[in-house]
Amino acid sequence: MQQIEWDESLSVGVKSIDEQHKVWIEKLNTLSAAIASCQKTRHISRTLDFLMDYVEFHFAAEESLMTAKNYPAFAQHKSEHHQFRMTLMDLFVLEVEEDDAVGKIADSINNFQISWLRNHIQQTDRRFANFLRAKSPAPAEAVNCSS
Ligand SMILES: [Fe+2]
């Protein structure tokens, strides 16, 4: 099972977004590890639920920030989130209905979720983060003239 590690190449330069991406990655790795160590389907299914809940939370957080800041590429960014969400929903349906659900979840992580997350962070989220930083630049450093 593949894992993904957060490093500077995945930083978008906005702390709150980076922190959420780290938690997402941690949850994805937990799911991957649960599958690799042949945990019971019920455990894997619960781990997938935690991941899905977090993804929803994170998408909502990014999207409300985009709305608040009038981000011009909001619709396109939101639609990428939606596509990903739909793919995860397919897994959620699988987990209750099919025998090979774990195999399909594994396949989704190894061949889709990790690469999607990496690409989405490095391109789409970074574009948004650049926009955010341009809108509210970091405060200038204080100059000490007292000496
Ligand atoms: Fe995003």
Model pTM?
0.89
Distance 126 CA to ligand 1 centre (A): 9
Q: Are 92 and 6 in contact (CB under 8 A)?
A: no
Using one digit for the tens of pLDDT, what is the confidence trace for 104-131? 999 999 999 999 999 999 999 999 999 9
The Å distance, Cα 3 to ligand 1 centre, comes to 20
Give the Å distance between the CA of 48 and the centre of ligand 1.
19
Report CA(38)–ligand 1 centroid distance (Å): 31
Q: How far is the CA of 108 from the centre of ligand 1 (A)?
A: 19
Long-range contacts of 23-32 (CB under 8 A, 24+ apart): 23/54, 23/58, 24/51, 24/54, 24/55, 24/58, 24/117, 25/117, 27/51, 27/54, 28/4, 28/109, 28/113, 28/114, 28/117, 29/3, 29/4, 31/105, 31/109, 32/1, 32/2, 32/3, 32/106, 32/109
Q: What's the gap in Å between 55 CA and the centre of ligand 1? A: 10
Whole-number mean pLDDT of the chain? 92
Q: How far is the CA of 109 from the centre of ligand 1 (A)?
A: 18
- CATH class belonging to 13-126: mainly alpha
Query: What residue ranges do the domains of the chain occupy?
Result: 13-126
Q: How confident is the model at residue 14 (pLDDT cuts 50, 70, 90)?
A: very high
